[in-house]
Homo-oligomer: A and B are copies of this chain.
Amino acid sequence: MTAEMFPKEKTIDLRKKHIGPSCKVFFSHDPIKIVRAKGQYMYDENGVRYLDCINNVAHVGHSHPMVVKAGAEQMELLNTNSRFLHDNLVQYAQRLQATLPEKLSVCYFVNSGSEANDLALRLAWEYTGHKDVITLDNAYHGHVSSLINISPYKFHQLANAEQSKSVHVALSPDLYRGNYRQDHPDPATAYADDVNNLIQKAHEKGHKVQNKNADKLQQCVCARVLPYQCTVPLPHRHVHQAGGLFIADEVQVGFGRVGTHFWAFQLQGEDFVPDIVTMGKPIGNGHPMSCVVTTREVAEAFKNSGMEYFNTFGGNPVSCAIGLAVLDVIEKEDLQGNALRVGGYLMRLLEQQKEKHPLVGDIRGRGLFVGAELVRDRVKLTPATAEAQDIIYKLKEQHILLSADGPHRNVLKFKPPMCFSEEDADMVVEKIDQILTGTRNLAIVI
């Protein structure tokens, strides 16, 4: 495979012709063609180097040689399904288990975060016998149809969105812009009470309308809770009391990204153990793979449904070899420690920007999962959406890849490969500083 076959214009034309128009490119007015990447850097067809602040999937760094070698060697040897015994599968399950609370001991290997979250729902539905789900406002859990139902981030995009009656959307525990903020005496309890209220309401409706429909309730929160520094154990208790299960979606935030812990849910303390954990994006450094881990009880209940679970590609020896190599690299290169150090450093730099530029309203995050929310007014919190887009585009011109996220698309979101360095942090924040300094007068004109 050569690095480039077509001139960029032809690539764009062919893409328009043959790729679904719902599949967007970054910077649609002038998209980037990347032909190779290494570590935290990507290179376009002219050899121009971009600093990558967005690709959390390339977790241990783009094209990491240890991961590439493990994949290539195993491909040469064997790639088949998990109906045959293979050591990579069990060794990988064992290694993953060692990072988790003992109770979470049973793995299902699948191909994507979406497949993982869909299977998590199936496990929970089977265990509890009920279908109701509590999800957080603005949450995103995947692209298959069952998950769009529980992803307000997605179903709010639909022209004629229709929320399923068995899906209950809880307040996003956002201390900056949410219903209960920093000035609230006890926001954790307030947000937990919201979950409890949803449970009660569902129970009432359930008893009146369908009798058994609402006993079971789940929550899929970690990815979204994290930036908002809320605590989970309280709603977790409410969910358990209602006979529900708690699913921790670690697709975005797992594998050491939060710095202090290997899994984001572990930020909630040692006593907090979700019933199901789903993994994805970083697990194979870009290779399509993912995993669901649960307790023996949930796994046995699923088995007792009588339905076999078979996933053609899930848990194949190549995916597992790659997964093992990713774990090795995280350990060997102390990438979790790096996330803690560099993430902390990046947050301090951004805090300085907040002091300097009124547009920077809030800095939040953990490890190398950091958000900087831009606002036009620090009291009204008017989202600075256009300004965020402007920064993203200007950074691109300076060969830095950053994105804006959040319901108002006004949060600069840093989730770089975990080998991101302090020098990289210096570079991106310096450029942001220059852009903010340049646009300050502009912002007043708007």
Question: Chain B residues with Cβ under 8 A from A118's Cβ?
Answer: 144-145
Interface flags for A1-41 (1: CB within 8 Å of B; 0: not) read 10111101001101101111111111000011111110000
Partner of A21, one of B154, B289, B299, B315: B299
Give which listed residue, B20, B34, B86, contacts A106 with CB less than 8 A.
B20
Choose from B32, B86, B319 the contact partner of A33 (Cβ within 8 Å): B86
Which has the most chain B C-beta neighbours within 10 Å: A75, A76, A86, A286? A75
Contact A78 B26 (CB under 8 A): no
Q: Interface range on chain A: under 10, 10 to 19, 20 to 34, or 35 or more? A: 35 or more
Nearest-CB distance from A308 to chain B (Å)?
5
Cα of A311 to Cα of B288 in the assembled complex, Å: 10
In the complex the two chains form, what is the Cα distance from A26 to B70 in whole Å?
26
**Across the interface, which residues of B come within 8 angstroms of A87, CB to CB?**
4-6, 11
Q: How far is the CA of A97 from the CA of B20 in the complex (A)?
A: 13
Give Cα distance in the complex from A327 to B269, angstroms.
51
Interface residues of A in 109-165 (CB under 8 A from B): 111-115, 118-119, 121-122, 125, 143-146, 148, 154, 157-159
In chain A, residues 292-347, which have Cβ atoms closer than 8 Å to a Cβ of chain B?
Answer: 294, 299-300, 302-319, 321, 324
Question: Is there an interface contact between A79 and B94, defined as CB atoms closer than 8 Å?
Answer: no
Q: A62 with B36: in contact, given A6-B90, A157-B308 (CB under 8 Å)?
A: no
Say if the beta carbon of A68 comes within 8 Å of chain B: yes
- Contact status A93-B18, CB under 8 Å: yes
Greatest chain B CB density within 10 A among A17, A42, A55 is at A17
B70 contacts A71, CB within 8 Å? no
Q: Are B85 and A8 in contact (CB under 8 A)?
A: yes
Residue of B26, B122, B148 touching A84 (CB-CB under 8 A): B26
Q: Kindly state whether residue A82 has any CB partner on chain B within 8 Å.
A: yes
Verify A22–B303 contact, CB threshold 8 A.
yes
Bound-state Cα–Cα, A108 to B82, Å: 27
- Complex CA distance for A71 and B26, rounded to whole angstroms: 25
Q: Complex Cα distance A144/B311, Å?
A: 10
| Cβ 8 A contact of A75, one of B72, B105, B305 | B72
7 residue pairs A–B, Cβ–Cβ below 8 Å: A19-B107, A25-B84, A36-B77, A71-B75, A113-B312, A121-B145, A157-B306
Q: Which residues of A pack against B, CB within 8 Å?
A: 1, 3-6, 8, 11-12, 14-15, 17-26, 31-37, 42, 55, 57-58, 62-63, 65, 67-68, 70-91, 93-94, 97, 105-108, 111-115, 118-119, 121-122, 125, 143-146, 148, 154, 157-159, 280-281, 285-289, 294, 299-300, 302-319, 321, 324
| Interchain residue pairs A-B with the least CB separation, the first 5 | A14-B90, A72-B72, A18-B93, A288-B313, A79-B286
